[in-house]
Amino acid sequence: MSEEVKKKLEEELFLFNTGEYFDSYLTLGCNRDTYEGNSGFRFTVWAPNAISMAVVGDFSDWDLGIEMEKIGKTGCWTAFSDKAIEGQCYKYRIEQPDGTVKLKIDPYAFEFEVRPKDASIVKGLPEKKWKDGLWSANKKRFSIYERPLNIYEVHLSSWKHHDDGSWYTIPELKNELIPYVKKMGYTHIEFMPLMEHPLDASWGYQLTGYYALSSKFGTMEEFQDLVEAAHLANIGVIMDWVPGHFNRNDYGMVHFDGTPQFEYTDKNKAQNNRWGTMNFDLGKAQVQSFLTSNALYWIEQFHLDGLRVDAVSSMLYLDYDIGEWTPNEDGSNHNKAGVEFIQKLNKKVFERHPYTLMIAEESTAWSKVTKPVHMGGLGFNYKWNMGWMNDTLKFFEMDPLSRKYHFNLITFSFMYAFNENFILPFSHDEVVHGKKSLMHKMPGDRYNQFASLRTLEAYMMVHPGKKLNFMGNDYGQFLEWRIHEGLEWQSVNDEMNAKHLHFMESLNLLYKKERALWEVDHQADGIQILDADNASETLLTFIRKGKKLRDFVVVICNFVPVERKGYKVGVPYEGIYEECLNTELSEYGGVWTKNQGPLKTVKETTNQQAHTIELIVPAMSVLILRPKRIFGVPKN
């Protein structure tokens, strides 16, 4: 290694060792390089306690390999090979402090062998010329908080299967998934983790290769093309990301150099017993460089619009579901290193990409999750509303005639709806492991199940907060999600399923059209409760508001299969109103053949409003009314 190369590496690795190198994948791992006029690949790895290191692979001796040189006091090793070419396999041969010799993967590898093989693959970064500049420019025009956000959550290999049982390739998904999502009116696709992982049953949440698209899915280039195609169709792409814990298979990062390197030294902190994984030592500078660089890698190299950060709670608490735990010196259970890492991560991501979605899957009452770091927050811009999801599903799973006794499950969320910037999730977690599909959770016969499901989905759409729905929810799949099988797309041939799919498409398109449903989502000004105390009839009424006075809708939710005739609801202005949604229309699977209307106001005070509309509220339904012609309101 020349002095010039050594100096450059030492400068970059100094930053890595301080936790401040946020493009560390450009130095560590396998990267294209030229040395003494020869083209090839440089291999650089962090292994501070290794006795010796070598690169072994198809381009070298698999027993001894190419000896690696230690780079000063950086704890890193490097070697160059002009024999290495893309597509060849390699690993690191590590002599550990106790004399044990192990072969380990490259934590920074961009590609791996197709499972069950596990070697890293020689691969340089793709040099794609992106064509999604208009999409990127449009993201800067309006605040993400004042835009519609309706996410379709997808597990890539079980969305659709071929007749022979094989899953769709990424190019096939590009041609089918993106047109489907566009037609259905979703704004974003969220993929469950796509990085390299050895076990399908982990759903991708137990990772071995953080910088590699899983070999089972396809190539980096194919995924880049899929994201670009989504952007050209005006669809954003989000991916789940797992910075809290990693797979503990022996060939991976666990005890990489023979010591607790990526994981905590304290076994109580290192062992994640809930998931059978290892927890990252989030207070270690090199781990911070590794993970923050990884987040930026997926955002920058793949133009992702956001990351949903998995299991944030496990990074915030020392005692989060792990059994024995080691408290702080003052006896507290907050993981101070985890909190500081999360704040640092979000600050750096927003520094470079202020329009990115950083979404926390955080299931506790930790405060200020979506507040900026300078205000004492964690710095995310969105958080899944797990409380709303749990209460809502518990309510809907009840016998409808018992719901009036538990009406607080529906109304309680309005007490905290604006404490954070929330996304309302009906995710994969709620339709697996015996929990039943959303459709199967609904009580009653098939007709009433679909009526309840329409009411549930419409209620989510009118409640403050952005939206997320897992695949299969959109047409009312009856069986819960099974990872090794494709969705039951044949169900769409059934009339009721087909009508529910049509309903969801109509609901999604209505959501995008009505500014009142998303423009003021995170302030109390965006909603006016009309009646949240009608438990006896199990009816909830409120107004959703946009920024302009004329941008509002009146919402009536009937959570029982009892029709209410002559129902009066208060409205703010005199005029004529119309239904823009009746979930009980026959085209959606209900019994109503047409909308009610026009709905004229009368001068009568109801719900503290000066004007009143009288109408029929269908059994088990959501009605959304919008002003058609109103008086006394400025037009701007």
CA angle centred on 512, ends 296 and 621, rounded to 5° = 120
Q: How far apart are CA 226 and CA 171, in angstroms?
A: 7
- Cα separations in angstroms, 110 against 30, 107, 120: 8, 9, 8
- Look at residue 522 and give its three-state secondary structure: coil
Considering 106, 190, 196, 310, which one is annotated as catalytic?
Answer: 310
- Main-chain dihedrals φ then ψ at residue 6, nearest 5 degrees: -60, -45
Per the structure block, which two tokens stand in for 540? 């909830």
- Main-chain dihedrals φ then ψ at residue 357, nearest 5 degrees: -95, 120
Q: How far apart are CA 238 and CA 231, in angstroms?
A: 12
Per the structure block, which two tokens stand in for 550? 């004329």
What is the number of helices (H) and of strands (E) in the chain? 13, 31
On whether the CB atoms of residues 601 and 577 are closer than 8 A, the answer is yes
Sheet containing 245-246, strands listed edge to edge, beginning at the edge strand earlier in sequence: 245-246, 277-279, 271-272
Per the structure block, which two tokens stand in for 263? 């994981």
Tell me whether residue 525 is one of the annotated catalytic residues: no
On whether the CB atoms of residues 239 and 190 are closer than 8 A, the answer is yes
> What DSSP string describes 157-207?
GGS-B-TTSPBPPHHHHHHHHHHHHHHHT-SEEEEPP-EE-S-GGGTT-S-
Tell me whether residue 61 is one of the annotated catalytic residues: no
On whether the CB atoms of residues 172 and 156 are closer than 8 A, the answer is no
Considering 361, 391, 420, 584, which one is annotated as catalytic?
Answer: 361
Of 435, 476, 472, the residue nearest 452 (C-alpha): 476
Per the structure block, which two tokens stand in for 581? 């949604």
Q: Which residues contact 384 (CB under 8 A, 6 or more apart)?
A: 308, 359, 360, 361, 362, 363, 422, 423, 425, 427, 468
Q: Which amino acid is residue 347, in one-letter code?
A: K
Catalytic site residues? 310, 361
